[in-house]
Amino acid sequence: MSNLAKITEAPVLAAPCPNYILDLPGSAWLSPEQAGLYLGLSAGALNQRRFTGKGPRYAKVGRLIRYRKADLEVWLLGEQVRA
């Protein structure tokens, strides 16, 4: 493989989202790990955004954090950058 081919290959940043998450309705509640897979972020990155107030809406039930799938989609749309 040439050096040019090595430079132009795109790195794989995250594992693909499992189909069972993609098939869930928008009203489904996801764990931080599942939400991270859906968004292409690690659970840690999602937690950091939650702590700074820059992440998607979430619910806290006792110690558990849950994200509604529809809220993740709304947050993603708000993160779009205009070119």
The reported pLDDT for the residue numbered 70 is 93
The per-residue pLDDT for range 4-59, each reduced to its tens digit, is: 444 445 444 456 777 778 777 878 899 999 999 999 999 999 999 999 999 999 99
Rounded Cα–Cα distance for residues 68 and 58 (Å): 7
Rounded Cα–Cα distance for residues 71 and 61 (Å): 17
The reported pLDDT for the residue numbered 79 is 85
The reported pLDDT for the residue numbered 25 is 80
The structure tokens listed for 59 are 């619910």
Beta bridge partners of 66: 59
Q: Does residue 2 carry a pLDDT above 80?
A: no
Rounded Cα–Cα distance for residues 8 and 22 (Å): 30
Spell out the domain ranges in the chain: 3-78
The reported pLDDT for the residue numbered 15 is 62
What letter represents residue 33's amino acid? Answer: E
